[in-house]
């Protein structure tokens, strides 16, 4: 029945440390992803630049080295990989719905090995993290369309186990975005239930690989942009962005990946924003999903990306949370702060520390709001 939603959790009880939830929804996905002018009217006005040519070995080697990720392809045979490749090969053609059903068990087999990972299927993002449009005067004449609200086929991010209870508390409340407007931090850090700071999206599109890659471009840019918005709120307002250590750590965190699938072909993409630069999308590798050796290599690469996320990216996110926590502590202990270190006028007016940690966080978040909103 149109519009009906059925949610099914496919995680066995003895694998509670990892999760993936499948949700089917018969509502239509945007038809415009494969349009010839989608990039010029929708992606580029949001500073999302998509490259069609695959990265050469040298470029991928440099990126992998910078991220602390293995460069070479590794193939790891497994029953799940063999079964997936055989099922794809047995079909003359395959629909998006069929591919989603086949990929879910394979993805689950990979995710359940990583206790900090969580995955959801076909779940819509809030628009809080969607990249802003470029001002009209910066783009050439022509139509400028709103970026569709992301709804990846699968979204991979962190579970709550990746954070302490205090870090989870810090990710609540309101901050100011780069337009100095109120922004719900919880919707940035956890855009969908049980998935924090997503870094890997999967898009399955029947129409074309162009449509699948364009859909990935918007979804992954939203993942990256959410971290950029939070980093902007964490930075001390009285300072400029000249802290090279901060920018370097941010560039390592503002990195995501995607897998675009059309028919029996999958395309692995890298999405890198590096702070203020446009959201750049490039192809890393293309895989044949009916070729067992290709699927082995693809599964190994997905696993290596999760290892990177568990060991490197999460560390950068923790550093952002620590910096934000320091702002909370400055309000809680007003005598310990100095004007040279950090002296926004709003915080200097506080003479008494709030009584509870929640009220401390609330005051710090309020300080990030535009003046017209602070009275409320």
Query: Residue 117's Cα: distance from chain center in Å?
Result: 13
Residue at 250 is within a domain: yes
CA dist., res. 10 & res. 246, Å (int) = 40
Q: What is the pLDDT of residue 348?
A: 38
Which stretches of 78-142 are DSSP H helices? 79-89, 96-111
Give the rounded distance of the alpha carbon of 327 from its chain centre: 25
How is residue 141 written in tokens? 């004449």
Cβ distance 85 to 292 under 8 Å?
Answer: yes
Report the pLDDT value the prediction gives residue 10, as an integer from 0 to 100: 38
- The reply to whether 42 falls in a domain is yes
Residue 20 lies in a domain: no
Q: What is the pLDDT of residue 368?
A: 52
292 assigned to some structural domain: yes
Buried b (16+ CB within 10 A) or exposed e, 249-274: bbbbbbbbbbbbbbbbebbbbbbbbb
Exposed, middle or buried by CB within 10 Å (0-12, 13-18, 19+), for 13?
A: exposed
> CA-CA distance, 199 to 221, in Å (whole number)?
10
Number of domains in the chain: 1
Q: What pLDDT sits at residue 252?
A: 61
**Residue entry with tokens 């049980």:** 194
Q: How does DSSP assign 2-21, residue by residue?
A: TT-EEEEE---GGGTTSEEE
Q: How far apart are CA 361 and CA 343, in angstroms?
A: 17
Residue 1 lies in a domain: no
210/216 Cα distance (integer angstroms) = 10
Quote the pLDDT of residue 375: 44
Structural element, H or E, at residue 243: none
Mean pLDDT of each 10-residue bin along the chain, 376 residues long? 39 43 46 89 92 93 90 90 97 95 97 95 94 64 81 97 95 82 91 96 96 97 92 66 57 85 97 73 97 97 96 93 82 54 39 50 53 44
Residue 282 inside a domain? The answer is yes
Domain with 201, as residue range(s), is 36-374
Assess if residue 299 is contained within a domain. yes
User: For the chain, how far is it from start to end, CA to CA, in angstroms?
Assistant: 44
Q: What is the pLDDT of residue 237?
A: 52
Q: What is the 3-state secondary structure (H, E, C) of 136-205?
A: HHHCCCCCCCCCCCCCCCEEEEECHHHCCHHHHHHCCCEEECCCCCEEEHHHHHCCECCEEEEEEEEEEC
pTM given for the model: 0.80
- The answer to whether residue 14 is domain-embedded is no
Give the Cβ contact number of residue 135 at 10 Å. Answer: 8
Which structure tokens are listed for 152?
């990846």
């Amino acid at each position: 029945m149109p519009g009906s939603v059925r949610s099914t959790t496919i995680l066995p009880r003895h694998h509670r440390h990892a999760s993936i939830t499948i949700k089917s929804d018969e509502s239509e996905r945007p038809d415009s992803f494969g349009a010839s002018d989608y990039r010029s009217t929708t992606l580029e006005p949001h500073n999302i630049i998509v490259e069609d040519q695959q990265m050469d070995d040298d470029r991928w080697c440099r990126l992998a080295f910078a991220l602390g990720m293995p460069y070479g392809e590794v193939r790891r045979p497994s029953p799940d990989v063999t079964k997936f490749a055989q099922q794809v090969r047995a079909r003359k053609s395959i629909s998006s719905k069929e591919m989603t059903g086949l990929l879910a068990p394979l993805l689950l087999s990979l995710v359940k090995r990583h206790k900090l990972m969580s995955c959801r299927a076909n779940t819509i993002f809030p628009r809080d993290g969607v990249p802003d449009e470029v001002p009209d005067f910066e783009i050439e004449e022509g139509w400028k369309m709103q970026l569709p609200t992301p709804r990846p086929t699968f979204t991979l991010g962190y579970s709550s186990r990746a954070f302490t209870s205090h870090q989870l508390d810090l990710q609540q409340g309101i901050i100011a975005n780069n337009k100095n407007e109120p922004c719900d931090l919880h919707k940035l850090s956890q855009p969908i239930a049980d998935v924090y700071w997503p870094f890997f999206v999967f898009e399955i599109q029947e129409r074309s690989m162009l449509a699948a890659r364009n859909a990935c471009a918007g979804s992954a840019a939203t993942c990256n942009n959410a971290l950029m918005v939070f980093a902007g709120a964490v930075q001390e307002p009285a300072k400029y962005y000249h802290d090279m250590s901060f920018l370097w750590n941010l560039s390592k965190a503002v990195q995501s990946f995607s897998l675009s699938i059309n028919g029996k072909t999958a395309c692995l993409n890298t999405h890198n924003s590096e702070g203020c630069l446009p959201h750049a999308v490039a192809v890393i590798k293309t895989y044949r999903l009916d070729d067992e050796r290709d699927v082995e290599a693809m599964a190994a690469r997905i696993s290596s990306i999760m290892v990177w996320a568990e060991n490197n990216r999460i560390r950068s996110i923790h550093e952002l949370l620590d910096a934000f926590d320091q702002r909370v502590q400055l309000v809680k202990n007003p005598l310990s702060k100095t004007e040279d270190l950090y002296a926004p006028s709003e915080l200097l007016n506080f003479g008494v520390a709030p009584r509870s940690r929640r009220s401390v966080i609330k005051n710090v978040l309020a300080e990030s709001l535009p003046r017209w909103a602070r009275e409320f």
